[in-house]
Structure 1
Amino acid sequence: MATNASRPGRVNANAPVRKLSKTALFKKYGVPIITTILVAAAIVVVGVLLKVVLDNYYFFCLKSFKFIPLTKWCDGTEDCSGGQDEMNCVQRFGITTPALFRISENQALLQGNIRLSGTWALVCFSNFNQQKAQAVCSSLGFNSGPTFSSVDVSGLGLNLPFSSVDLAGNQGIQVSSTGSCQTVVSIICQSCGVGGNRERIIGGLSTPITKYPWQCSLQYQGSHVCGGSILSPWWILTAAHCFQGGQLQVPNWRIQAGMASLSLMFANRVEKVYVHSGYSANAKANDIALVKLQAPLALSDSIQPVCLPGFDNVVTLDDRLWVTGWGYTSEGSGVLASTLQEVSLSLIPQDTCSHEYPGQITGGMLCAGRLAGGTDTCQGDSGGPLVDFGDNQRWQQVGIVSFGEGCGRPGKVGVYTNVTDYVPWINGAMKQGS
C-alpha cells in the first residue's frame, strides 16, 4: 500500500536543498588552501635562508654527507671523501713543453718551432690551408675561425730558415724544415683589438665601454675585486694576486662584461682559474692569471677581445699607453668608481722603476705612469689591462695592473706584468683548458 512517507534509501524530491554560505565555503576550502600555501612559502623562505647561511659559512661534502668550514674549502688539504673540497679551486699552471708556434708583431708572421728543437722558422704559404690554420690557432688556445694571407719574403729582410706545417693524424700537427719559398704565412687567429678610443684610476675620466670593450669586472660573492680583459669569448686575462687567501673557490667567482657601470646582474659563471705556477705574493713576479667561463660571451659592440702582442713586441718611451678600471679614484677613499675610468700613461724606463722599487722589478715587469704623480691605478684596478694602439692598427694588451706604492704619488709609478713575456704561458694555459 502506497503512502506519502519517504522510504529509506530513496531521495525525497520534495525535501528542501541546503546551500552552504560563502563564509562556510571559505572556511571549508579557502582556509586550508591558504594555510597550505603559507606553510609551503615559509618552508621555502626558511630553506633559502638556511642555504644562504650554510653557503656563507660551510661547504657541504656530498659523498661523506658532512659540513666543513669554508676556510677548509680549497686550503690544499682534503677534508671531504674523495677530495671534493679541493675540486673547483684555483689551479696553478706552468708550461712543461715548448711552444710549437709563435706570431710576430710586424705583419703577424707565423713562425714554427722545427721539431721542437728551438729553431724558429717562417712557415711557407705553399700548401697552407684553412685546416692547418685552424690547427695552428688551436695549438695557441684559440678556437675561432682564423684568417691567413701570404706575404712576400723579399720585402721582409729577415734571415730565418723556412718550414712547412703538416697534419700527421694521431701525431697531431708538426713543423718540419723545408727549402726556401717566395711567400710565407701571415695569420690572425681571431678578430680582436677593435675599440672606439684613438685618464685604482687616479686623475682619470669616465669612458663608455665601447671604447674599451675588452674590459671586464671580476667579482667574488657579488663584490668587485679586480679588473680583467677579454682574450676570447671563453677566456679572461687578469692578475694572479686577485686569487688569494679565502678567494680560491671557483664557483664563487663571476665575470661582468659589456657594461661601463658595475652591476651584479648579468654576471657570467666561471669554470676554471689558472694562476702562474711561479707566482709568489712576496716576490710579486709572474703576476698573471687566466679565467675560463662556463659559457662563451656573446660578442657585440660592447664585448670584444683585445689582441695579444707579438712575441717580439717592444713597448717604447714614445708609445701612448692607456689603462682602465673601476678602482678607487683617490688613495684610501675605499670607494670604487661608479663608471669605468680611463687614463693615459707613459712607459717609465726600467732603471728608473728599479730605483723606485729596489729589488722588486724583474724582467717580466714594466712600469708606466707619470713621475710627477697625479695619474695612476689604485685598489680595485688590479688585473686590468694596459693597452696601446699597435702598428697593425689594432689595440693590444701590453700590461696587467700588478702593484704600486700608494696611488698617484710622485715618484711612485704603477708596476705592470709585461704581457709580451707571458704570451707562451697564456697560449699554453688556454690550450690546456680547452
Structure 2
Amino acid sequence: MENTEGNIVNGENPPPYYLVVKPSDPPPSYANIDELWETPPVVPYYINEPLPPVFPPHVAQRIIITTEQYHPDQRRSSLVVIRHKKARCYGGSGVSAFIIILIGIALWLGVRYGITMMSRRNMDTCPSNTVICDGHVDCKQGSDETICVRFGAGNELQVMTSNSNGFLPICYDDWNQSLATQTCKQLGFRGCYQYGSLTSTSTSFLFVSQSSDTIQGKVNVSTSCPDKETVSLQCTNCGLSQSSSRIIGGDEADPGQWPWQVSLHFQGSHVCGGSVISQDFIVSAAHCFPSDPPAWQVPANWRVYLGVESQYMLPAPQYIADIIIHELYNPNTHDNDIALLKLTQPINFTGMVQPVCLPAYDQVVLADTECWTTGFGTTEEGEDHGSIQLMEVEVEIIDRSLCNTAYKGLISNDMLCAGDMNGGKDACQGDSGGPLVCQDDDGHWYLYGVTSWGIGCGRVNRPGVYTDVHSYVAWIHSKIEEYRP
C-alpha cells in the first residue's frame, strides 16, 4: 500500500477495489476454461504500469482476521415489504432547441428517479415532436419509452404515461396473464413469474383500455378503481438462497448460499465480481471496465462464471454481448460506478444459480442494518492472491454522514458505506463489482450495493464504499429494456 492515507489528506481520490492490470496489447482469444490451476494475481493499489510476466504463484493459505460464528437469525434485516395475494403466471423465456429541452427533462428525471436518456457513449437523438411515454418510440435509441415503468413496495407496477403527472399504479380490474407476460417482456425479462393485487393508497389510477406494444401506451388515467386493488407484478423469482446456514473477517460461503454471485474473468484470471439480476443481465462496477487500454471494454475478452464455489472448479463460461457502462461514470471520484452486462445466451436457473432482487424505487436500507458482502478477493490487505473459495462476511450499513466524516467528504449521495468502524470486516481487492445484499422479513435478498472502493481493507474508520443500487434502479430498468433480448 503506497501513501494511501497521505493521498486522501491531500485531496486525491482513493483507489477502487479492483485489479489494475493494463496489458499493452489486447489479450488473445482462448478456449473455454474448465479448471483454474493457479490463483489469479491481485495487484496492490497505485500500480500505474503493466505488470512484468506473471509466473505460476505459490498458493497461499487464506488469512482470516476474525473467525466469528454467525447464526441464521442474525442475518435478517428489518426491511419490510408488504405482500398481498398472488397468482402465478408464466410466459416465454427547431430540433436543437427541443433536444436542449429533452436534456433538461432527462436531468430532472435523473435527479428525481436516477434516470438518464443518454446511451453508453452518445446522447440519444430525438425529433422535435417527441412525446415521452406515449407508447411510440421517437428517439433513435428509444430513450423516450424506456423510462416509463417502475416498481413500488410489494412489487406494485407503476407506470408514467404522456397523460399522467408522474407514475401511477394500474388497477387490477381486467388485468390478466397475457398483460403480465407482455409487460415483463417489454421490460427485458423472458416472461412473468407471478402477478397479483394489493391495496393502494393512491387517488389516481391507470386502466388498460387500448391496444399498444407497450404498457404505457395501453393505459388511461382514472380517479376510481374497485377496492383500490392495483397490480403487483414480479417478472422473476429472485432473492432466494438455497442454503440456510449461516473476505476480510469472513468465512467460506456454503454451496448455494449466494447463488447470484458471479466471477468475471479477463485474460484468464478472476478480476471482479457481479450479481445476476435476470436471465440475461449481470450488475457489476463500471471501474472493472476501464477505457485504457480499449481491450478492457471488448466483450469477447471476458468470461462470466456462475454458481462458482471455487476458482479451481469452474463451470462452462457464459459470454458477454454488451458492456453497458453508466454514462456519467467518473473514474476519479467513483461516482456512478455501475455497469450492466448483457449475456449472449440466457441463464438456466438452478439451485446454484439464481437472481437477486432489485429494491423498489422507494425501498431504502437504513443505517445499522446487518447485510452481507461476498467475493473472491483477497482476505487480508496486501496479499498477492485472491481467495480460491467464495468468501462471505456480515457487515453493518453505516450512516452516510459518519462515513463522510471518516472519508473527508468523498462519499456522495449515491454511495453506501458498510463494514465495521472498528475494522476487521470489509471487502478487498478482487471483490469489486460484487454484491452487498440485505434480507427482508419474508426471506428475500435485495441488492443494495455494488462493491466499489475503500482505503485499505478492514481498517479502523475506513469502511467499504459501495455504489448505492437504490439510486440506480431506474437506470438499470431502463437499460434492461433498451437492451432487452
TM-score by length of 1: 0.75
* Aligned equivalent of 1:211: 257
Q: Is the 8 A contact 1:331 1:378 kept in 2?
A: yes
Deviations 1:275-296 (A, max 9, x none): 0000010121110001111111
Other-structure match for 1:9: none
Matched, 1:329 2:367: no
Within the alignment, does 1:303 sit opposite 2:353 as a pair? yes
Deviation at 1:432, TM superposition (A): 1.4
Whole-Å Cα distance in 2 between the matches of residues 392 and 94 of structure 1?
Answer: 41
Say which of 111, 123, 139 aligns to 2:170: 123
Residue deviations 1:88-147 (CA, integer Å, cap 9, x gap): xx9548894362121113x22121213275422221001111222123223332223231
The equivalent residue for 2:151 is 103
Tell me if 1:141 matches 2:188.
yes
Whether 1:190 and 2:236 are equivalent positions in the alignment is: yes
Q: Aligned partners of 2:342, 2:379: CA distance in 1, in Å?
A: 29
Within the alignment, does 1:250 sit opposite 2:295 as a pair?
Answer: no
User: For 2:168, what is the secondary structure of its paired residue?
Assistant: strand
Equivalent residue in structure 1 for 2:450, among 390, 400, 405: 400
Instruction: Check 1:161–1:373 CA distance in 2 against 1; reply closer, same or farther (3 A cut).
Output: same
In structure 1, list runs of 5 or more residues that go unmatched.
1-53, 59-70, 72-89
Aligned to 2:308: 259
SS state at 1:352 partner? helix
Provide the alpha-carbon RMSD of the alignment. Answer: 2.5
Identity of aligned residues (%): 37
Please say if 1:276 is aligned against 2:326. yes
SS at match of 1:169: coil
SS in 2 for 1:187: strand
Distance change >3 Å, CA 197–CA 403, structure 1 → 2: farther
- Return the offset for 1:197: 4.3
Unaligned runs of 5+ in 2: 1-24, 30-49, 51-118, 125-142
Q: How far did 1:252 drift?
A: 0.5
How far apart are residue 165 of structure 1 and its match?
Answer: 3.4
**DSSP-derived class of the 2:162 partner:** helix
Q: Distance in 2 between matches of 1:167 and 1:219?
A: 47
Q: What amino acid does structure 2 have at the position aligned with 1:378?
A: C
Opposite residue 205 of structure 2, the aligned amino acid is F
Mapped partners of 1:238, 1:390: distance in 2: 22
User: What is the alpha-carbon distance in structure 2 between the residues aligned to residue 178 and residue 278 of structure 1?
Assistant: 37
Q: Which residue of 2 aligns with 1:388?
A: 438
Cα offset, 1:429, TM superposition: 1.0
Higher relative strand content: 1
Q: Secondary structure at the match of 1:185?
A: strand
User: Which of residues 422, 425, 428 in structure 2 aligns to 1:378?
Assistant: 428
In the alignment, the residues of structure 1 paired with residue 214 and residue 194 of structure 2 have an alpha-carbon distance, to the nearest angstrom, of 24
Do the aligned residues in 2 keep the contact of 1:268 with 1:293 (CA within 8 Å)? Answer: yes
Aligned length: 346
Higher relative contact order (CA 8 A, sep 6+): 2
SS in 2 for 1:339: coil
**What per-residue deviation string (whole Å, max 9, x for no partner) do you get for residues 296-345 of structure 1?**
12110000000111111111124210000000000010111110000001
For the residues of structure 1 that align with 2:186 and 2:408, how far apart are their CA atoms? 39
Q: Which amino acid aligns with 1:329?
A: T
CA–CA separation in structure 2 for the residues paired with 1:344 and 1:234: 28
The answer to whether the 8 Å contact 1:150/1:184 transfers is yes
User: CA 1:421/1:166 → structure 2, altered by over 3 Å: closer, same or farther?
Assistant: farther
Q: Is the 8 A contact 2:263 2:273 kept in 1?
A: yes
Aligned ranges 1:12-27 → 2 under 5 Å: none
- Structure 1 equivalent of residue 179 of structure 2: 132
Moved more, 166-175 or 259-268: 166-175
The amino acid across from 2:222 in the alignment is T
Give 1:112's aligned residue: 159
CA contact (8 A) 2:433 2:452 kept: yes
The equivalences for 1:53-132 within 5 A come to 56=27, 91-92=120-121, 96-97=143-144, 99-105=147-153, 107-115=154-162, 117-132=164-179
Larger helix share, 1 or 2: 1
Distance in structure 1 (CA, Å) of the matches to 2:411 and 2:282: 25
- SS across alignment from 1:280: coil
CA shift in 2, pair 1:150/1:407, >3 Å: same
Aligned partner of 1:226 in structure 2 is 272
Post-superposition offset of 1:414? 0.6
Indicate how the Cα distance of structure 1 residues 218 and 94 shifts in structure 2: closer, same or farther if over 3 A, else same: farther
